[in-house]
Chain A
Amino acid sequence: MRFSTSYPASSDGLGVLRVEHLTGPLHSPVIHDVSVAVPSGATHLVIGPIHAGKSMLMRHIVGLEQPLSGRIYLEGARIDDAIDSHTQLRRLRARLGVVFEGSALISRISAVENVELPLLEHSDSSPAEARDAARELLAEVGMADAAEVSADDLPRSGSRRVAIARALALRPAVLLLDEPTQGLDAHSAHEIDDLLSELQQRYGFGILIFSHEVRHAFGMATEIYVMADGVIIARGTRAELEASDNEIVRQLLHRRGTPA
């Protein structure tokens, strides 16, 4: 199987990924009435302090948590409705690329094995074809030489790149990244930002970044959501938010590390 470079356009013009009035999880809600939309080819950013509910929002989008109310659409299909349907959820998850905080590579296998996992599971490709496709993906993220290196032995920036390659393996419509530059030095973080921009320009997928560090991702995003205590307290462009009177927004945007 060759790694295809075609990505679908937004299905309805409103956003290839749409979260509408989401409250959850079911038994002990942490996020309340959250709405987010990511058009195809756009980069949106959800920022907020630690414990703001950003990771919980991502877990809902991926279908790891059941919401109390609200809707999550991916290419027009409801993810929140698919939670009880293993087949449908599996199909929808194949359209989402996810880079968890800390990369979350499977530690006891190599970089190339990590990348080929989703290909083996979701495509009809033979092991040899999946391995070739995985190597191509690793080359795209600049990790061709580390294909056989155990995930345990990868440097932090390298594991982040491999996680991005794994997330892109199934040609997702949207790439979700939880704290993609956390723990990286400034140079490595900028390299990750550049890599994401380059891949997005090439393939056109939407990106939704969840971060409490505004330093790097801030520059990439066309729309920024500010989250605190489980709710979206502000949204807008960088310029709009910088003009905000909201105290939490001002604290987040003007704390140490924010680009001038």
Chain B
Amino acid sequence: MTLSALPAPPSQSPGRSTQSRFISRGRLAARSLYWLGWLTFSRRSVVTAGVEREVYALGIGALRLVTSASLLVGLIAIFQVATQLAPYGAEPVSPRVVTWFAARELGPVVVAMLIVARSSAAIAGELASMNATGEIDALRAMGLDPVKYLVSPKLLAVIIVLPALTLIADALILGGVWIGSTVFLGYSTDRFASQIREAFLTRDLGVGIGKSIIFALIIAVIASDEGLSAERRASAIGEAATRAVVLSLIVVLGADTFVNAIFYFIPGLI
């Protein structure tokens, strides 16, 4: 019996309306968070081992990409900002501007973009592939909830990994800024350090980490939903991965815009 012999269940129709997709993702998010709570207190070895595996795959596996990209982003940012501020005689405050922007914006957004590109497709593709090969049905047939066993470990892993990578990215963006400031712009390390001390506030770091947790939820839920709702055919795996990346990018940037608008329109909030 071939996979194509099986018609897609009603919930897996490619023509799902925007409303039904929104509801489906809302339900998936709620169920994932419910099982996340269960997972936190669970001693069940298979699931906790699943979280470890996901943390390794999504986090440790992305370290090289995140570190190299963050360092380069720091360098690019200091060159750009210094160039823009030079005509106004404000070039010396470039490290301070970039540092502030890195903690609140660059770190969380750059890491989210990298994880979307690297892991969103992987999560959606893996779940779509499991759907195509009958693994999801096998779980359901055994009375096991795929959200509990497959989605929750991924969600928890992304929630652990994204803030951790954001902290690493913040540090490496500063590293890039330091290299750019001292090697190419001719500032002393002491001057760079004093600007960092003035600019780098814990609350900015907190905003960045808060954003990264929101981005983690968005990435995990969208990628998982696209994977679980893929049709049972081989080409649907690639389609699900592509949709997950495109939609995650848009929603992450939309959420970032929303958060920034709140801070802008409610002065003194943070």
Contacts and interface: CB of A to CB of B under 8 A. Distances in A.
Contact of B141 (A100, A107, A212): A100
A127 to B, nearest CB: 4
Contacts of A96: 141
Interface stretch (A5-13, A116-124, A188-196, A235-243): A116-124
Interface size, B (range): 20 to 34
B44 A127 contact: yes
Contact of A120 (B5, B46, B137, B139): B46
A117 B144 contact: yes
> Could you say which interface size class chain A belongs to?
35 or more
Interface string A31-60: 000000000000000000011001110010
Interface in B100-142: 126, 130, 133-135, 137-142
A113 interface: yes
A116 B46 contact: yes
Contact of A100 (B5, B50, B134): B134
B46 A179 contact: no
A107 B130 CA distance: 8
A62 B141 CA distance: 6
A108 B154 CA distance: 13
Interface stretch (A86-94, A135-143, A244-252): A86-94
A140 to B, nearest CB: 18
5 contacts: A56-B6, A94-B143, A98-B142, A102-B133, A113-B49
Interface of A: 25, 27-28, 30, 50-51, 54-56, 59, 62-65, 89-91, 93-94, 96, 98, 100-102, 104-109, 113, 116-118, 120-122, 126-127, 131, 166, 170, 178-179, 210, 212
Given A62-B141, A113-B45, 16 more contacts: A28-B7, A51-B5, A55-B5, A56-B6, A64-B137, A65-B9, A98-B138, A100-B138, A101-B134, A104-B137, A106-B135, A108-B53, A109-B49, A109-B50, A116-B46, A117-B144
Interface of B: 1-2, 5-7, 9-10, 43-46, 49-50, 53, 126, 130, 133-135, 137-144, 149
